[in-house]
Amino acid sequence: RGTEEAFQGRHHQAERLLNSPQSLSRPHPPILIGGGGERVTLRLVAQYGDACNVFGGPDQIQHKYEVLHAHCERLGRDYDQIEKTNLATVSISPDGARGSLTPAALVDRLGAWSDAGSMHAIFSVRDVADLSKLELIGRDVIPQVRDMGDPSPIA
């Protein structure tokens, strides 16, 4: 079911605007705030965000989540209701050539991010045009990490 409303803007007017279907609401689509700024960004996550996306190694990520937790306590927000994600770029190969990660090393890295508090790892894969890298992840990484970590609070 849609709504019809008139719009009177500075440059545009409309008599009958139709919004159908209505936007997803709970009361709104989940808000993910990306970044790790400790004074502003993570405070905004604590105040308004449903999810956050930080970057860095496991120790850095854990520190960012500790800062977020402190902001949540100050604001009276339930820290556990915020979905924690991290962002990274990975290079993977079967043998770890040229500084890349082996599938086992990527599983370990994903476990370390999970142990640091991340519920989801979002990563780009270097040289992704080489589909064998995605096949390697699908075959040797995903089955080992599928049930790792806590379930999403906003799923």
Each residue's pLDDT tens digit, 127-141? 999 999 999 999 999
DSSP label of 22: P
Q: What's domain 28-145's superfamily in CATH?
A: Luciferase-like domain (3.20.20.30)
- Residue 113, pLDDT > 90, answer yes
Q: How far apart are CA 2 and CA 22, in angstroms?
A: 6
Q: Copy the structure tokens of residue 41.
A: 């960004």
Q: Which residue stretches of 23-154 are H helix?
A: 41-48, 58-75, 103-116, 131-136, 142-145
**pLDDT computed for residue 7 by the predictor:** 78
Question: What is the arithmetic mean of pLDDT over 24-49?
Answer: 91
Q: What is residue 10's predicted lDDT score, i.e. its pLDDT?
A: 87
Q: How many CA atoms lie within 13 A of 16 on its CB side?
A: 1
For the stretch 54-104, pLDDT in tens is 999 999 999 999 999 999 999 999 999 999 999 999 999 999 999 999 999
